[in-house]
Amino acid sequence: MPEGLSGAAVHQLSVRVYYEDTDAAGLVYYANYLRYAERARTEMLRELGIGSSDLMANEGLALVVRRCTADYKKPARLDDVLNVETRILHVGGASLDLEQTVCRGDDVLVRMELKIGCFDLSTGGAARLPKHLRATFSQTQTDRMP
């Protein structure tokens, strides 16, 4: 199991809700959950030894969101401490399927399902995941949560 991930192959990132994250009603603005999820994915990659800037500079590749669905269940509020959990559900030839949940304690606030594609910066199109990335991601793959 790669360093930084729990035994269940779940990456966790803690974030605090700041005033700038909230809307006029004092609730986290819906798009900010996407920002929290992006930070969590970036930190998961770092803990797996995959730096986004290195991937772009050395391999000419980027991992980009191709599809995202979000189910907003409960709101978060100013000063809440949230936990963003990221799970790799499936590793394909050129993409990853992820599940990300944003929780406050035991409460699931938002559940997202994402397809992350491998993008060739020189051609502007899809690319196959390099073998070393597929191997790393496959080691961390887990089953879908209930």
The predicted pLDDT at position 34 comes to: 98
Class in CATH terms, 10-140: alpha beta
pLDDT bin (cut points 50, 70, 90) of residue 12 is very high
pLDDT bin (cut points 50, 70, 90) of residue 6 is very low
Active-site option among 21, 23, 80, 106: 23
Region 34-55: what's the mean pLDDT? 96
pLDDT bin (cut points 50, 70, 90) of residue 9 is confident
- Contact criterion met (CB below 8 Å) for 10 and 142: yes
Helix (H/G/I), strand (E/B), else coil: 6:
coil
| Cα 5 from chain centroid (whole Å) | 13
Catalytic status, residue 23: yes
pLDDT of 143 higher than 90: no
The predicted pLDDT at position 141 comes to: 80
Region 106-118: what's the mean pLDDT? 98
Query: What pTM value is reported for the model?
Result: 0.89
